[in-house]
Every structure is written in structure tokens, then in C-alpha cells.
Amino acid sequence: MALTVAVTSGSALARQDESASPSPLNQIYRVEFGSAPPIYGGAISFSFGDGLIDSYTETGIGGADQPGGTGSWYAEGGGRISILGDAADPGYEGEELPPRPALQLLADGQSEVNCEAWPHIDVGSSAQPSDLCWITNSNVLSVTRTQ
């Protein structure tokens, strides 16, 4: 009987198999962006709450309340997850509503993406953005799960 063990270092691979999480509920990801409008480089955290996606930074980016945009997610039958991005909001001058870009996890002009299953990434591990069904923005450089 042969036993095969594979060891990898560096980033964890996003797995879409039996170890996949059933949903992104209560998960937070730190997403690093390259320098392209409306994000000029830097990291934004995206939190997946009870059906909602919020974005934030430690210091803020350009005064935006939700610097990476907002959106929602919902689970469908069979483990399928849909991500819906909110449209950009220019904010209101002189009021307490700052501008907000469209959901920056998605490619420009895209408002929805579907995943057959939510990929599993361990807390503290990273994944290649191209391996994640919920990121279609080609300006994303790296993704790390922080919670």
C-alpha cells in the first residue's frame, strides 16, 4: 500500500471540493489591489455578513465610506452562492453620504457572479484571485482570509 503526501508552501490553494465552506457568512478577506481607478493601490477588507458585503480600510481611501463598494450574497440550492454588487454611488455634497464605488470584487461593468460552491480558504491563508469564483476584477493582486 503506497501513501502519497503532497506538501506546498506559500499560498494555500482555494479548494472547491468536499471541504468547501457552505457559505461566506461571517468571513472577512483582505484584498490587495493594483493601482487602477477607482482604487489606487492598497488593501481593502471585505466582510460577508448576514447576506451583505461591506468594505473598509484601517485608514480609509479617498474619503469613501465603503472604499471597495458594497453588495449582497445569497445561497441557492446545491451549495451555489450568488454575489450581487451594488452600483456606484456618487454621494451627496454637503451631506454625510460620501461617494462609494461599485463592488470592486467584480470586473468593471459586472454586477453579479455565481459560484457553484464557496471555495475554502483557511483563516490566515491566501489564495490566487484567479482561483476564486467571486473575484472577477483583474486588478486584484492577492486575497487573504482574516476571519
pLDDT tens, position by position, 100-110: 789 999 999 99
Beta strands in the chain (DSSP E): 27-36, 39-48, 52-56, 71-75, 81-85, 112-115, 126-127, 140-145
CA distance linking residue 112 with residue 103, whole number of Å: 10
**Stretch among 43-47, 65-69, 130-134 having the lowest mean pLDDT:** 65-69
- How confident is residue 60, by pLDDT bands cut at 50, 70 and 90? low
Whether 39 shows a pLDDT value over 70: the answer reads yes
Q: Which of 113, 94, 93 shows the shortest CA–CA distance to 102? A: 113
| Most confident residue range from 57-66, 90-99, 116-125 | 116-125
Q: What is the pLDDT of residue 85?
A: 96
CB contact set of 35 (below 8 Å; sequence gap of 6+): 41
Percentage of the chain beyond pLDDT 70 is 76
Looking at residue 57, its amino acid is T
**Pair 119, 131: CB distance under 8 Å:** yes
pLDDT of residue 62: 54
- C-alpha cell read off for 10: 506559500
Specify the length of the chain in residues: 147
Query: In 3D, which of 19, 12, 11, 22 has the Cα closest to residue 118?
Result: 22
